Structure 1
Amino acid sequence: MSFTGRMKNELSRIDVKPSSARAELSAIVRIVGSLSIYDKRPVLDLHTENASIARRIFSLFKLLYAVQPEVMVRKKARLKKNNVYIIRVLDKTESILEHLCIMRVGLHRIEGISSELIGEEYCRRSYLRGAFLAGGSVNNPDSGSYHLEIISTYHDHAEHLCELLQKYHLHAKLIERKKGYVVYLKEADKIGELLNLMGAHQSLLHFEDVRIMKDMRNSVNRLVNCETANLNKTIQASMRQVENIRLIEAEMGLEELPERLREVAEARIRYPDVSLTELGQLLPGEVSKSAVNHRLRKINELAHRIRKMSGEDETS
């Protein structure tokens, strides 16, 4: 099962009171509900491929309105042929839609999200949970990117949903697609905050565990790459230094060098792999790194002059 599926199963098991159940059910009906007229009366159908969400919708209608919706199961005609659960409400449909702040008297659609539904903090969280159950998805945290989105058919509803998320400073964005309007989050920490707001605590723990492991691996990789780059630079510099010292030894002899330069030159030949700090510790009196670097620079300058006098190109 996908991470989204596990998360929706978790959200579907959260206990709710009638006051917050109304907000959750309103969001679900708004996103996956469709209204038709059958035998001169309005019929409300809600479609979902998730059995847990179907049970949740059925329970919410019973809790709030004491109605017994019909439940039908059909196979999708194409592709994976998953089950499609249809929850059909035949009784009290018009009054239910009015109570859920979706329709006015006469079945006129109410735009956006009614402030009556989300006046309290727990109602706002419930509305977000219902919206995600109905039209949400989130990337598996094991994948290379973080992305959570909620799809809604109506632009005004998606816009209000985006504004609701912005109340929690979640940096939500809104775009249009063929199937509707998409409200989405791209930042991992903001996605984690939304999971917490909706009550998906087990999913949040898994999400954060994976995220921490990825951050640790990335940090280790950066450190290894940095250490490797520094080591390569040290080795290349050492090879140039040894080459210059060998040139000086062949052309004039190391004994002609001033004592301090001769000491560092002989030490570098004996220990070509050590760093400047370690090389300084091997010299008499333990010379500092900057002093070692200064002496080696003098040796490099001398080697440059020798090459220039002999007509060789200096590329190092």
Structure 2
Amino acid sequence: MASFASQVKKELTQLEVHPEHAKAELSALIRMNGTLTIVNHQLGLDVQTENPAIARRLYSLMKQLYEYDAKLIVRRKMKLKKNNQYVVRLSRGVKPMLQDLEILDPMGLSINTAVADKILSEPQRMRSYLRGAFLAGGSINNPETSRYHLEIYSLYENHNEGILQMMNHFDLNARTVPRRSGMIVYLKEAEKISDFLNVIGATSAMLKFEDIRIMRDMRNSVNRLVNCETANMSKTVDAAQKQIESINYLQSHGGLDKLPQRLQDIAEARVANPEVSLTELGKLVAGGPISKSGVNHRLRKINELADQARGISA
């Protein structure tokens, strides 16, 4: 069964977007997963992924936006549990494409690792760039697991800062931390993860995430109520046991008939009904009903008298 993260990414690769917004997505994919090469004195580009749907997305975006025919290369892994590597390779038109995407400077001499200003200044481009960034370096825990977590890995600090800025533009309360020779931006709050999925266009995944989250939270609430009820029952049983021990002690050391009538009545009711709550006991006592606080006061008095008797006999 496909992981929740792969389901999210599959949905994202099937979205149709405006060409200007598609450029923002493509620039994130290339900036994060691309490698420049020199072949026959020509600038080449390899973009690598383990996800075949992302590889197809890369290929189609390059074809749609720049009419370039890239090659799709599959590198098969012989080791167990190792995914195939998919390489989208472009051998021509690399320099003008990267300059248009503002990954290369206008002179074509240096690589810009930061997110372009024109993306940071326009919300729809930000959404598309975050979609590409999540496809390239993002992961998300299955919401049925013990904790909620979404992150995007960046190799460069200034790129990480751009992703952080874009995510918090949408009030996602994102945070950042160093990780494995790079940086991550991450989300821990379930509501914010759901909002992020909506921001990048993973609507179906967002609805599934919310369904699972609501069911999980409901189960947790039920468990808390059951645990609380169990704890209260345990306290009731323990308290009743102590009360009955006190009553038995007084009975065997002088008898209950020396007690005031109201204490005799509550003692007889408690011995006859050891399992009931104070409220229920108040309805069963002779001369009742009496309030819960009244029952508690009388039983506490019996405990005190028994403790005093034990102290005298000791």
Q: What is the TM-score normalised by the length of structure 2? A: 0.94
The runs of at least 4 aligned residues of structure 1 exceeding 6 Å deviation read: none
Q: 1:198 aligns with which of 193, 197, 200?
A: 200
Report the equivalent of 1:249.
251
- In 1, Cα distance between equivalents of 2:276 and 2:19: 73
SS at match of 1:42: strand
Q: Aligned-pair distance for 1:305?
A: 2.3
Cα distance, 1:101 vs structure 2: 0.9
C-alpha distance in 2 between matches for 1:17 and 1:73: 29
Amino acid at match of 1:247: Y
- Whether contact under 8 Å (1:31, 1:135) holds in the other structure is yes
Letter in 1 for 2:64: L
Cα distance in 1, alignment partners of residues 165 and 241 from structure 2: 62
Matched to 2:198, the amino acid is N
Shift of 1:253: 2.3
Which residue identity does 1:300 align to in structure 2? Answer: N
One-letter amino acid of the structure 2 residue matched with residue 16 of structure 1: V
Contact 2:99 2:108 in 1 (8 A): no
C-alpha displacement of 1:28: 0.5
* 1:125 paired to 2:97: no
User: What is the CA–CA distance in structure 1 between the aligned matches of 2:50 and 2:304, rounded to whole Å?
Assistant: 76
Paired position in structure 2 for 1:95 = 96
Tell me the residue number matched to 1:27: 28
* Counterpart AA for 2:205: S
Partner SS, residue 207 of structure 2: helix
Aligned to 1:76: 77
Q: How does 1:10-25 map to 2 (within 5 A)?
A: 10-25=11-26
Matched residue count: 311
Q: Write the distance in 1 (CA, Å) between the matches of 2:56 and 2:148.
A: 29
Q: Distance in 1 between matches of 2:311 and 2:275?
A: 28
Secondary structure, aligned partner of 1:109: coil
Q: Give the Å deviation of 1:171.
A: 2.2
Q: How does 1:233-272 map to 2 (within 5 A)?
A: 233-272=235-274
Native 8 Å contact 1:94 1:107 kept in 2: no
Deviation string 1:83-125 (CA, Å, 9 cap, x unpaired) is 2111111222111001101111223112411111343221110
Shift in CA distance, 302/160, structure 1 to aligned 2, threshold 3 Å: same
Q: Is 1:139 aligned to 2:141, yes or no?
A: yes
Q: CA RMSD of the aligned region, Å?
A: 1.5
Higher mean C-alpha deviation, range 104-113 or range 137-146: 104-113
Amino acid at match of 2:309: I
SS at match of 2:102: coil
1:8 aligns to what SS in structure 2? helix
CA contact (8 A) 2:120 2:166 kept: no
Residue in structure 1 matched with residue 302 of structure 2 by the alignment: 299
What residue identity is the alignment partner of 2:96?
Answer: S
Deviations 1:161-191 (A, max 9, x none): 1111121222222223335322222222111
Question: Using the alignment, how far apart are the partners of 2:82 and 2:170 within structure 1?
Answer: 38
* Residue segments in structure 1 that go unaligned for 5+ positions in a row: 312-316
- Give the direction of change, closer, same or farther, for the CA distance of 1:261–1:226 in structure 2 (3 Å limit): same
- In the TM superposition, what is the alpha-carbon distance from 1:275 to its structure 2 partner? 1.0
* Contact map agreement 1:101 1:117 (CA 8 A) in 2: no
Distance in 1 separating the partners of 2:169 and 2:268: 69
Aligned partner of residue 117 in structure 2, secondary structure: coil
Q: Secondary structure at the match of 1:176?
A: strand
**Closer/same/farther in 2, CA of residues 237 and 80 from structure 1, 3 Å limit:** closer
Match of 1:288 in 2: 291
Which stretches in structure 2 are left out of the alignment for 5+ residues? none
Q: Which residue of 2 aligns with 1:46?
A: 47
User: Which residue of structure 2 lines up, in the alignment, with residue 314 of structure 1?
Assistant: none
User: 1:4 corresponds to which residue?
Assistant: 5
CA deviation string 1:3-35 (max 9, x = no partner):
111111100000111011010001111001111
Q: Is the 8 A contact 1:241 1:300 kept in 2?
A: yes
Instruction: Give 1:78 deviation, angstroms.
Output: 4.2
Paired with 1:102 and 1:309, the residues of 2 have a C-alpha distance of: 90
Aligned in 2, Cα 1:294/1:178: closer, same or farther, shift over 3 Å? Answer: closer
AA in 1 matched with 2:312:
M
SS in structure 2 opposite 1:72? Answer: strand
Give 1:76 shift: 2.9
8 Å CA contact retained: 1:118, 1:127? no
